[in-house]
Structures are given as C-alpha cells and as structure tokens.
C-alpha cells in the first residue's frame, strides 16, 4: 500500500548481530496457552492497538451464555475443530479454516463438535469490508456469492427452547473493554426470519483463489481478504511458484515503513520461514528490514516443489501494536537470531 522503492544491497539486510531496545522481531507459540476460556472475553489478548485487538481462544465445548461485542466487528478464524454458531440471524456450521465475520453487537454463542481453537480479530470501532479488487474484478480471489449467511433451519429452531443456567440466559456485553451482563428469562435467539444487507458471513480459506504471476512475486496486499479501518487481513493459501527463471520465488527483504506485520501460521509448510509451527504468530513492527530466512532464500530461484503449501492469516496494522501479557514460555525468545546463517563446520 502506498509509494515504494526497491534498493539493491551488497549484504543481506537481515545480517544483524544484535538488537538493543524494545524494537525487534518477535514470535509467539500460541498453542502453549493452556486451558479453556469459557467466553471469548476470557481469551488471551496477545497483540492490540486502538483499532485492532487479537486474541487466541480455546473455546468451551458448549457456551452456557451469549456474548455481544459492542466495541466493533468481530472476525473469528477457526484454526482447529468444528461446531455450530448460533446468533441473532440463525445458525452456521463452522469448520477448520473458516472466517466468520460478526457485525458489531451481534449476539452469539458457540457449540463445539470437536475442540475449537480460534484466532479472534476485533475491528475496534470499525467494520469489515471487502477489498477493492481493481482491474481484476469483483469475482477475483473469491466470488462474493460464496459468502454464506446464517440459516433459520431445524437446528436453529430446535434451540428456541434451550435453557441456560437456572433456566435463564445471560448476555455478556463488551463495551469499552468493560463487561456488563443482561439476563433474560427466555432464550433471546428466537428469530423467525430476517432481511437486510447486514449479517454475519462465513468464508473458508479453501474457497479463496489466489492471484498469481509467473514473472513477478506479488506483494501480500494482492492477497487481501478483509479491510477494516486502519488494518487489513490477508490470507496466504497454496499457489503455484513463479516459473520465469529470473523471477524471485520468495518475498523480498522489506521494510514495512507504515504497517506493523503479524502472521498467524495455520497449516502446511510456510516457505519463507524456519522455526514455525501451527498456531504460531510472528510479529514484525515497523522500523527494521526483515524477510526470508536463510533456508528460504537459498530456494529463491529454484524451489523444491512447484507450489507453496501453506495456509496463514496476515494482519497489517497502520498503527503500532502493543504486546499483551502472555504466560511464560509462549514467546520464542530466540526468534531475532533465526535469520543468522549457520556457522561453517
């Protein structure tokens, strides 16, 4: 996004030998966050700013209350598991790899068939929109017709009479990061129909058809999936490598001078990074050059396979992110040294 320059260097811009001060690349093993979180408001907040909040949630088997986010739209990315989401608008079956966008103040709860872990991305005081696809047209990347809205189906009607604790239903509302509880003597998810152009939507990563170029490594912005105020969400899915012999096959070394970059690693083999595993997050703030790890740069012109094999979610934020309070052992302390070339034996 915005103006850019390419600078040709003698040495690798990631050839640092040390970092001092708070600025450095960071990485987090979110799978090391243990324990169930009864509510998404209990999920661990690992990165945040005034416009975007990211949390990692180990959902319960069955939520015994409803929640409502009055601070902004909520984006749920189902990393593992499957289940059913019930909301004001009806029922959605959700599976691994699903994005679910819940407009601000949507009332909802989740029931898991298999244990669910999810990445939660709040668009604080904002809404999610589709990106402008420009000359490639509105059907590129994914056809908007594939977006699924909730259904008032048999499963939704069957839960009309569902009882919460003590026969009541609690709705825990988050507003300005403070929680309030509204109690009903009946199940408030009792809609019998709806119409309009505001609704939750579901999109699976396997329905995304990435842009590709055989001669040029496209920047991550080509893979933008959702746009909010002052940040974007991009999705990396398997795609063919560039075939031109002179084309770079991996991302170039880069300074994100206006955006902090966050990547949530979902599945597969992430071709430009070492030391990563599913549910890991890398965080590269503005202010230093980063890019492929040594093993990846050695395959920059001759990749080992014809296609990438990765699913990842990238969040680029226009404003600096803060790191939340994380349990011991979650941060990969040696990440800043992972660009170092192995010493010759």
In tens, the pLDDT along 20-35 reads 999 999 999 999 999 9
Q: Give the whole-angstrom CA distance, residue 297 versus residue 272.
A: 8
Q: Give the whole-angstrom CA distance, residue 94 versus residue 101.
A: 12
What average pLDDT score do residues 26-46 get? Answer: 96
Q: What is the largest CA-CA distance in the chain?
A: 72
- Which residues in the chain belong to E strands, given as ranges? 26-29, 44-48, 52-58, 66-69, 72-87, 90-94, 98-102, 107-124, 169-175, 178-184, 201-204, 224-228, 231-236, 260-269, 280-284, 309-317, 322-323
The 10 Å Cβ neighbour count of residue 252 is 13
Res 344 pLDDT > 50: no
Q: Give the whole-angstrom CA distance, residue 317 versus residue 230.
A: 6
CA–chain centroid gap for 61, Å, is: 22
In 3D space, the residue among 335, 205, 319 whose CA is nearest the CA of residue 261 turns out to be 319
Q: Which tokens hold the place of 253?
A: 């070394």
192 touches 143 (CB < 8 A) = no
86 touches 109 (CB < 8 A) = yes
Q: What is the pTM of this model?
A: 0.94
Confidence of residue 309 (pLDDT cuts 50, 70, 90): confident
Per-residue pLDDT of 104-139, as tens digits, reads 999 999 999 999 999 999 999 999 999 999 899 989
Res 190 pLDDT > 60: yes
| Residue 81, phi then psi, degrees to nearest 5 | 95, -175
Q: Give the whole-angstrom CA distance, residue 282 versus residue 25.
A: 8
The rounded mean pLDDT for the chain is 92
Q: Give the whole-angstrom CA distance, residue 242 versus residue 161.
A: 55
């Amino acid at each position: 996004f915005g103006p850019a320059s390419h600078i040709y260097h003698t040495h690798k811009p990631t050839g640092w030998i040390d970092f001092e001060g708070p600025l450095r690349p960071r990485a987090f093993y979110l799978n090391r966050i243990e324990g169930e979180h009864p509510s998404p408001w209990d999920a661990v907040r690992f990165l945040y700013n005034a416009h975007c909040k990211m949390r990692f949630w180990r959902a319960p088997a069955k939520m015994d209350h409803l929640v409502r986010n009055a601070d902004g739209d909520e984006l749920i990315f189902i990393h593992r598991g499957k289940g059913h989401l019930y909301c004001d608008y009806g029922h959605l079956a959700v599976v691994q790899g699903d994005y679910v966008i819940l407009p601000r103040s949507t009332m909802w709860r989740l029931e898991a068939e298999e244990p669910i872990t999810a990445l939660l991305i709040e668009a604080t005081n904002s809404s999610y929109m589709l990106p402008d696809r420009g000359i490639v047209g509105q059907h590129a990347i994914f056809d908007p017709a594939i977006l699924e809205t909730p259904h008032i189906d048999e499963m939704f009607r069957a839960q009309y009479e569902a009882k919460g604790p003590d026969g009541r239903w609690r709705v825990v509302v988050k507003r300005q990061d403070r929680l309030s509880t509204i109690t009903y003597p009946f199940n408030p998810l009792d809609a019998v129909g709806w119409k309009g152009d505001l609704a939750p939507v579901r999109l699976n990563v396997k329905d995304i058809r990435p842009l590709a170029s055989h001669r040029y490594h496209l920047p991550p912005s080509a893979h933008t999936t959702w746009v909010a105020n002052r940040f974007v969400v991009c999705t990396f899915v398997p795609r063919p490598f560039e075939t031109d012999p002179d084309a770079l096959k991996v991302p170039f070394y880069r300074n994100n001078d206006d955006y902090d970059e966050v990547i949530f690693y979902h599945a597969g083999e992430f071709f430009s990074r070492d030391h990563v595993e599913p549910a890991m997050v890398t965080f590269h703030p503005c202010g230093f050059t980063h890019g492929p790890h040594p093993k990846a740069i050695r395959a920059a012109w001759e990749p080992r396979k014809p296609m990438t094999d990765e699913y990842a979610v990238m969040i680029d934020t226009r404003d600096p992110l803060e790191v939340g309070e994380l349990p011991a052992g979650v941060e990969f302390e040696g990440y800043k040294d992972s660009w170092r070339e192995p010493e010759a034996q």
